[in-house]
Structure 1
Amino acid sequence: MKVEQIYTGCLAQGAYYIESEGEVAIIDPLREVKPYIEKAKKNNAKITYIFETHFHADFVSGHVTLSKETGAPIIFGPQANPSFDAIIAKDGQEFKLGNVTIVALHTPGHTMESTTYLLKDKDGKDYAIFSGDTLFLGDVGRPDLAQKAANMTQEQLAETLYDSLRTKIMPLADDVIVYPAHGAGSACGKNMMKETVDTLGNQKQMNYALREDMTKEEFVKEVTDGLLPPPQYFPLNVKMNKEGYDDIDEVLERGTQALSPDAFETAANETGAIVLDVRHQNEFAKGHVPRSIFIGLDGGFAPWVGALIADVKQPILLVAPEGRIEEAVTRLSRVGFDQTLGFLKGGFEAWKEAGKDYDTVDSVSADTFKKQLEADDKTPVYDVRKEGEYVSEHIADAQNTPLDFLNEYLTEFPEKETFYVHCAGGYRSMIAASILKSRGIHNLIDVAGGFKAIKEAAIPVTDYVCPTTLK
């Protein structure tokens, strides 16, 4: 038996490859399925089953394409109702894979079709669970996402999750390995550990949601406390996972079309496409296509695209580093953005050489910023980090306008007075700057290096806060 976790950091997502006696099961595959097919082929094995733990909200799974390419059936748990052919497993139903067995344990609560898959070894001993979003390391799946589909409140879903954990998962032996669908950084939970594999015994000791003496009322309160609104693209990803989607090869063919500067400009004007610049933030600051949005590939790319571009059907035109076009299109497709129409051939340099207008972002070092604050302690400063980061430590009198909800704060930025914007390291503040400039707000200066550089420059900070945010 071979079990491999295939972890994708930018999505904080774990897919799984299980092989026994030449037969393979894939659990929660990513959109691009060739790596799974090639791995099985290399091992002279055949993909026999594709298991889905639930209808994912934060990424588009590759189950439909993988089934089409391999002929392997897709398996969901009870109460799933996909629009395509699939096996809807019964609670406790067993699937033989070589000389091991995979058992479907219905564990509703995160969603009503959520199912944990229990792997038994050749001797019938419980070996591991693939818990999807039912159980994370250090947390459990949020119970607020499936309210509409289930016609239940988040409290009712939390109560259901409590029962699932205590009747299906906690009775399992302590040495059972836990393989979750997500780790730290995912918006599907609140307190996830940075580790991606653990034993159930350790989780029983340290995961607040698995406390043996915890009442259902206590569980509901703790699980629902502090939940932030989910990203707007989540329901759209659920719809795609439930109803199907374009083949990834079609998406790549469409999205990797090279467009000259003139053709690129024409496409932007005629289609209403967003120009998405995925280079490094420093390059974007030096020059970019006017009104383009910056979200760099070398950051939390896909989740930020999903959080800030509300509609997955939004046409997109790319400005990307040489050799990273296919990567950008692929990573967009992972969160359902399939309407990439092409990229700027020759990159931003070609745009400049063609004599096209371009814009820049004023950016200063933390040392220069410090001198400005010393000269004028009323200088407006906007901190686009999350509220928790801001509460922990921030520049005195800085306003917190979290990037996730930036559009809700547009009226709070000065119309004429120069203001400064920063985040933790420079990535998010450049995203914010690009959004503000696209809305016609140009009187801003970015603090390069963010809060890390601010502290290194010995700019005074405080940990006291009188909350000013709406979220």
Structure 2
Amino acid sequence: MKVEQIYTGCLAQGAYYIESKGEVAIIDPLRETEPYIARAKKTGSKIKYIFETHFHADFVSGHVDLAKKTGATIVYGPNAETSYDIYQAKDGEEFSLGDVKIKVLHTPGHTLESSCYLLIDAQGKNHALFTGDTLFIGDVGRPDLAIKQDITKEDLAGMLYDSLHDKIMPLEDDLLIYPAHGAGSACGKNMSKDTVDTLGNQKKTNYALQEDKTKVAFIEELLEGILPPPQYFSKNAMLNKQGYDTFEHVLDKGNVPLDPIAFEHLANQTSAVVLDVRSPEEFLKQHVPNSIFIGLDGSFAPWVGALITDLAQPLLLVVPEGKAEETVTRLSRVGYDNTLGYLEGGLESWIAAGKETQTIASIDAQTFEEDYQNQKNGTSSILDVRKPGEFDTQHLLDADSFPLDFINENMGELDKEKPYYIHCAGGYRSAIAASILSARGFTKLTDIKGGFGALKETEMPLS
């Protein structure tokens, strides 16, 4: 028996490859299927099952493409309804894979169809539980993504409590827990950076698995401080229910080099968003006018999903050398399939063609302190674009909370005639915010390098 966790840091997502006696099961695969197929070919094995723990909201799963390519059966738990062929398993049903078995445990709460998969080894011993978004390391899944007219988030939270106490907590303490996500995912509040643990340790350390916690207390604690889900969550869930275009077609359409003239023509003719994925420093220094920055080296796909509201939005890319295919791939993982191409030769070719560029001022924390203290009229404002919880923990005394997550909704509160200093925790999110504001006509913007981490080293008063 072979169990492999295939973890993707950008999405904080874990897919799983299970192999026994030449038969393979994949749990919660990503959009691109070739890595799973290649693993199976390497040992001459056949992918027999694709198990989905639930309808994922934070990424587009590769289950539909993988089933078409391999003939594998897509398995969901109870209550799953799709527009493509699946096997809807019953609670407690077992599937044979080589000389091991995989048992379905229906665990509604995160969503109504959420299920965990219990791996039973050749000796009949429970070996591991693949918990999807039902149980994370240090946390549990949010219960506000599958709300219907007659079902509230409180109802789902109560279901989750029952699932944890009735289905998971009675299992053995030495059982390995393999969740679908780790720290950085928006599917929970306080997930650990660890991506595997034992159930026994989780019973000791996870707030949601405490024996003495009542259902009422559990529901209150689970719902406290949950931010609204990113807007793309419901759209990704729908793609996972209804199906989607093949990854290969998306890649062929998007991984197309364009010279500056063709790039500019497409931008003008299609109302495409120019998405610059270089580093924050490179973007702020010089970029294509009105382009948006979301860098590959940060939480790229989740921020694209949170900030670009239309999955069908045409996109044109400015990428580092050799990063076009990776960028198109990572966009497709969250359902952004309408990439039209990338600027061949990068910004250098744009400049060489005599095209106009823009810049956004960026200063270090010490210079900001001097500039701000020397202001006589106090007309500038400081925008802290971190999450509300980060701001509440500690912030500059004079700063305003202006979370990047809600910039599109809150932009109307700002004055285009007013100067703004912008910072986040380290510099990534502030560059995104500055790019969006700049593209919307704000011209008096200054980014603070190093973010709040650098600002704490100055003498600026904190609150």
Q: In which range does the TM-score fall when normalised by the shorter chain?
A: over 0.9
Offset at residue 48 of structure 1 (A): 1.0
Q: What is aligned with 1:4?
A: 4
Q: What is aligned with 2:194?
A: 195
Contact conserved, 1:316 with 1:339, CA < 8 A, in 2?
yes
**Alpha-carbon separation, structure 2, partners of 1:321 and 1:210:** 45
Q: What is aligned with 1:300?
A: 299
Q: What is aligned with 1:229?
A: 228
**Alpha-carbon separation, structure 1, partners of 2:326 and 2:370:** 41
TM-score normalised by the chain length of structure 2: 0.98
**Alpha-carbon separation, structure 2, partners of 1:447 and 1:412:** 21
Offset at residue 265 of structure 1 (A): 1.0
TM-score normalised by the chain length of structure 1: 0.96
Offset at residue 409 of structure 1 (A): 2.7
**Alpha-carbon separation, structure 2, partners of 1:366 and 1:439:** 26
Q: What is aligned with 1:33?
A: 33
Q: Percent identity?
A: 63
**Alpha-carbon separation, structure 2, partners of 1:106 and 1:244:** 23
**Alpha-carbon separation, structure 2, partners of 1:281 and 1:171:** 48
Any stretches of 5+ residues in structure 1 without a counterpart?
Answer: 464-471
Q: How does 1:105-120 map to 2 (within 5 A)?
A: 105-120=105-120
Contact conserved, 2:416 with 2:441, CA < 8 A, in 1?
no
Q: What is aligned with 1:60?
A: 60
Give the SS at the match of 1:341.
strand
Aligned length: 461
**Alpha-carbon separation, structure 2, partners of 1:107 and 1:409:** 37
Q: How does 1:248-259 map to 2 (within 5 A)?
A: 248-259=247-258
Q: Does 1:314 align with 2:313?
A: yes
- Report the residue type matching 1:450 in the other structure: G
Deviations 1:337-387 (A, max 9, x none): 001111111111111111111111111111211111221383421111111
Offset at residue 315 of structure 1 (A): 1.0
Deviations 1:71-105 (A, max 9, x none): 11100001101111111001111101111100011
**Alpha-carbon separation, structure 2, partners of 1:217 and 1:70:** 46
Q: How does 1:440-451 map to 2 (within 5 A)?
A: 440-451=441-452
**Alpha-carbon separation, structure 1, partners of 2:165 and 2:117:** 16
Contact conserved, 1:393 with 1:461, CA < 8 A, in 2?
no
**Alpha-carbon separation, structure 2, partners of 1:34 and 1:450:** 39
Q: What is aligned with 1:420?
A: 421
**Alpha-carbon separation, structure 2, partners of 1:3 and 1:309:** 36
Q: What is aligned with 1:81?
A: 81
- Report the residue type matching 2:439 in the other structure: S
Q: What is aligned with 2:410?
A: 409
**Alpha-carbon separation, structure 2, partners of 1:246 and 1:240:** 10
Give the SS at the match of 1:408.
helix
**Alpha-carbon separation, structure 2, partners of 1:446 and 1:295:** 15
Q: What is aligned with 1:101?
A: 101
Contact conserved, 2:307 with 2:408, CA < 8 A, in 1?
no
Give the SS at the match of 1:462.
coil
Offset at residue 218 of structure 1 (A): 1.1
Give the SS at the match of 1:299.
coil
**Alpha-carbon separation, structure 2, partners of 1:188 and 1:416:** 38
**Alpha-carbon separation, structure 1, partners of 2:460 and 2:65:** 54
- Report the residue type matching 2:103 in the other structure: V
Deviations 1:153-196 (A, max 9, x none): 00111111111111111110111010000011110001111111
**Alpha-carbon separation, structure 1, partners of 2:5 and 2:258:** 38
Q: What is aligned with 1:241?
A: 240
- Report the residue type matching 1:422 in the other structure: H
Q: How does 1:262-281 map to 2 (within 5 A)?
A: 262-281=261-280
Give the SS at the match of 1:18.
strand
Deviations 1:136-166 (A, max 9, x none): 1111111110003x74100111111111111
**Alpha-carbon separation, structure 2, partners of 1:50 and 1:347:** 39
- Report the residue type matching 2:35 in the other structure: P
Q: How does 1:393-408 map to 2 (within 5 A)?
A: 393-408=394-409
**Alpha-carbon separation, structure 2, partners of 1:460 and 1:426:** 18
Contact conserved, 1:56 with 1:238, CA < 8 A, in 2?
yes
Give the SS at the match of 1:399.
strand
Contact conserved, 1:3 with 1:17, CA < 8 A, in 2?
yes
Give the SS at the match of 2:456.
helix
Offset at residue 454 of structure 1 (A): 1.6
Offset at residue 406 of structure 1 (A): 1.2
- Report the residue type matching 2:140 in the other structure: V
Q: What is aligned with 2:382?
A: 381
Offset at residue 114 of structure 1 (A): 0.4
Deviations 1:5-43 (A, max 9, x none): 111111010000111111111000001111111111112
**Alpha-carbon separation, structure 1, partners of 2:432 and 2:32:** 27
Please provide the CA RMSD for this pair. 1.1
Give the SS at the match of 1:103.
strand
**Alpha-carbon separation, structure 1, partners of 2:84 and 2:265:** 38
Q: What is aligned with 1:140?
A: 140
Q: What is aligned with 1:50?
A: 50
- Report the residue type matching 1:76 in the other structure: Y
